[in-house]
Amino acid sequence: MAYLEITLHVDPANRVAAAAVYEKYKQRFLDTVAGATSKELLIRDEDVQVLHGFRSAADAGAYLDSTLFTQDVVGELRPLLRTEPDVRVYDTV
């Protein structure tokens, strides 16, 4: 099992729009991305995080290189971000 954690620094005024991007692509992610097992949106006062579950760290890395992520998701989120996203992959043992 592996996790992909993406932290997004989004102004409070843009959080509804960011959540809409999450909702728009959640099912497509779960249905089409190899090794995808879960996707959760976590909201805090200081940021928004998207936690993705995968069968392996290799599956997480492949998603980061996919058109779905690089063009679709990031393309829609980019205008809403204050800074570059913090992207981390965690592997379980």
Best CATH choice for the domain 2-91 from the list 3.40.50.300, 3.40.1390.10, 3.30.70.100, 3.40.50.12170? 3.30.70.100
* Beta-bridge mates of residue 40: 51
d(CA 5, CA 15): 17
Q: For 14-37, write each residue's pLDDT tens digit.
A: 999 999 999 999 999 999 999 999
Q: Tokens standing for 93?
A: 């043992």
pTM listed for this prediction: 0.92
Q: What is the pLDDT of residue 46?
A: 87
pLDDT at residue number 11: 93
Residue 45: the pLDDT is 86
Tell which residue, 43, 31, 89, has the closest CA to residue 64: 89
In the chain, what are the domain boundaries? 2-91
75's CB contacts (< 8 A; 6+ apart) are none
Is 63:52 a contact under the CB 8 Å cutoff? yes
Instruction: Encode pLDDT of 49-82 as tens digits.
Output: 999 999 999 999 999 999 999 999 999 999 999 9
Nearest one of 28, 23, 67 to 48, comparing CA atoms: 23
